[in-house]
Amino acid sequence: MRRSLSTGVAALTLFGITAIPSVAGAAKSIKAPPTIVVKGTTFVKANTATNASFKGAGPYHVGITTFDLVVPPTTLTPAGYTTKVDCWYPTLAIGTPSIYNMSQWLPAPIAFIVNSNPAAKTIATYSTGGIAKAPVAPGKFPLVLFSHGYGGFRDQSAAITSHLAGWGFAVCAPDHVGRGLTAQLDPTVSLTPPTTDPNADVNDLIALRTYLLGNNVALLKNHVDTTRVIALGHSAGGSAAERLASYATSLGASGSWLKGWIGMAGMSKLDWSQAIAPYNQVPTQPGYVLSGSNDMTVPTATLVTAFAGLTAPSHMTVLSDAGHNVFSDICVIGAGSGGILAIAKALNVTVPDNLAALATDGCKSPNRPVLDDLGIIGQLTTAASRAFNGQDVGKGTMSGLSAAYPGLVVSSS
């Protein structure tokens, strides 16, 4: 039972996010790091940024808060709906990162089975990487909107989202109820989704930015800069990040709040003629496409073809011996007990074949252990987010990666 929890802690420690327990008599906060303020936006100061500067832990500790988001009605979603959001953010507080249990994203009958079995409940527990409701550090931080993958959930890439927060970003992730884990495991949910809109995930991100723009989250009030936004997503979420860029492009100058997008193991096939306006324009914002060379779900060759259709200055990096889930925590959750599918099998829970294949892509040999890639992924996502916001431009944070990370990077352009 404890191997799973210790594996989760090990993952976060290797990524530079260490669980720091409160100690009686110890300081209640850390010292604020050096920062620069650009037109009201707070950035961590990095005078000598290189292609390894952001590999380790950021200078901030990380807080996390959860709230409900009402997604307003659209033509294809006349009733609208409510979803949950988690936001990671910089804090100076000292404390132990909170944990989540995957059962909260399982249909009620399956969640009951998991929570009734102490061993399964422990195995399905993982760290959020953030201290619950810690006060936000002084400053107004650029925003990253994170979109999870098909069959995923808002905390599925907590190692990445919390890492970005440690480097001075507010990172907010909604549950996409139409294609989330619950919907894929419960036929009832799948048959009666809250929306038939193929771009509902993008609408979630738009609604989330609007909600934060209105300072509707008391804890984050005046701490999130919604004029400097990066879209980040994994798998189907990578496509959502790109389609958000298409939407912002369609707005012209009024869409300048989106500074760039990052697609991890997923983007559209750029078949713009079949997409729905206003999500059918080639983005004018810079993009960054990340891929694992062994990805069986979204093969690198597919992403190379799609990448060739981009017109804005963009980048692509391929990680060697890595599969689809190298950009999530899925391979690490319950790894010491055979993984989340082994948990399901032991409890006689049926998992659809397509979801089972997706959940294991990248988790076993010949793929390199996902923990080995956490540092380079932290570097890539942080460096790109800063560069798209105008920081570290020309300082080599997104170049020379193959030489800097031999054996980890196949190619980068």
Q: Which domains does the chain have, with CATH numbers?
A: 2-22+33-412 (3.40.50.1820)
* Model confidence pLDDT, tens digit, residues 319-332: 999 999 999 999 99
Pairwise CA distance, residues 267 & 275, whole Å: 13
pLDDT at 375 over 60: yes
pLDDT at 150 over 90: yes
How many other CB atoms are there within 10 angstroms of residue 24's CB atom? 4
* Model confidence pLDDT, tens digit, residues 185-210: 887 877 777 888 889 999 999 999 99
Mean pLDDT on 357-365: 89
* Model confidence pLDDT, tens digit, residues 286-312: 999 999 999 999 999 999 999 999 999
Pairwise CA distance, residues 61 & 167, whole Å: 9
Mean pLDDT on 51-59: 96
pLDDT at 336: 64
User: How many CA within 13 A on the CB side of residue 114?
Assistant: 25
215 φ, ψ to 5°? 55, 40
Pairwise CA distance, residues 353 & 49, whole Å: 44
Q: Which amino acid is at 204?
A: D
**Could you tell me if 229 and 199 are in contact, meaning their C-beta atoms sit under 8 angstroms apart?**
no
pLDDT at 345: 72
**Could you tell me if 194 and 77 are in contact, meaning their C-beta atoms sit under 8 angstroms apart?**
yes
pLDDT at 227: 98
pLDDT at 23: 32
Q: Name the nearest CA neighbour of 291 among 302, 300, 279.
A: 300
Q: What angle do CA 319, 321, 322 make, to 5 degrees?
A: 65
pTM over 0.85: yes
Length of the chain: 413
Pairwise CA distance, residues 288 & 314, whole Å: 6
Mean pLDDT (the chain) is 88
Q: Could you tell me what percent of the chain has a pLDDT over 90?
A: 66
Distance between alpha carbon 349 and the CA centroid of its chain, in Å?
A: 27
